[in-house]
Amino acid sequence: MNPEMISLHVKEIEGVWCGVAYEGEKIFATAFAFAENGVLRSLLHAIPFDVPFQQLEKASSFAERVINSIKAIYDGKDVRNRFSLATEYLTDYAKKVIEAVVLIPVGYVSSYGFIAKAVGGSPRAVGRVMALNPFAPIVPCHRVVCSNFTLGGYGGGLNLKREILSRERRGYSCEKEILVEGGKLRIFPVEFVLRKLEKGKC
C-alpha cells in the first residue's frame, strides 16, 4: 500500500547536509552530501515516483532523530538506532542484502563476495544493490569493500568513503562472523582496509 504523502526534511549540521524522506516513522530514503541540492536529488530519486511529497521546514521528532543519526554515522560514532525502512519497494534479493549490511557494526567491514556467500547471488549483484542503496548511511554501504580490502565503489566518492572508515577505526584486530538471514557473514576490522590504503596499494 502506497503512502498518502511522503515528507522530506533536509538540514545542515556542521557543514554536512543530511536528509530523510519519511511517512510517520517509516523511512523511504536517507542521504547526506555537502550541498542541499545533492541531498534533495538523492531523496527524490529514491522515493516511489507515483506518491506525492512535500518538503517540510519543521520536521517531526522522528525525522530529527534520523537526521542526527545520519550525522553521527558520518562522524564515525557508534549509532545503535534501528529504524523501520520501506524495503517493500525493493526486490527480494535487495532486501536480503540490505538486511545483512545493516548488521555490519561500526569498526568492521565486509566484502561484496562474503555478503554474496551469506545471502546468495554474486559479488557483482551485491555491488548493484549497494550502488542503488536508498538508505545510506543508515544502511552502511561504506562498510562494504572488495575482497582484497580495496575500497570498491561509493556514490559519494572514494575519498569520502575513506574518510568515514577512518573515523570508524576502533583498533580491532580479529575478523569474526555475524549471523544474518541466510547464514553467517564474515566481517573484518576496518584497520585491514586502512592499512592497505596507508601503504598506497589501492
State in Å, rounded, how far the first CA of the chain is from the last one: 45
Residues paired with 17 in a beta bridge: 12, 33
Per DSSP, the three-state class of 194 is helix
Distance CA 105, CA 159 (A): 21
Query: Which of the following is catalytic: 18, 141, 146, 174?
Result: 141
Q: Do residues 121 and 92 make contact, with C-beta atoms less than 8 angstroms apart?
A: no
141 is catalytic: yes
> SS3 helix, strand, coil % of the chain, rounded to 5?
40, 25, 40
By annotation, the residues acting in catalysis are 141
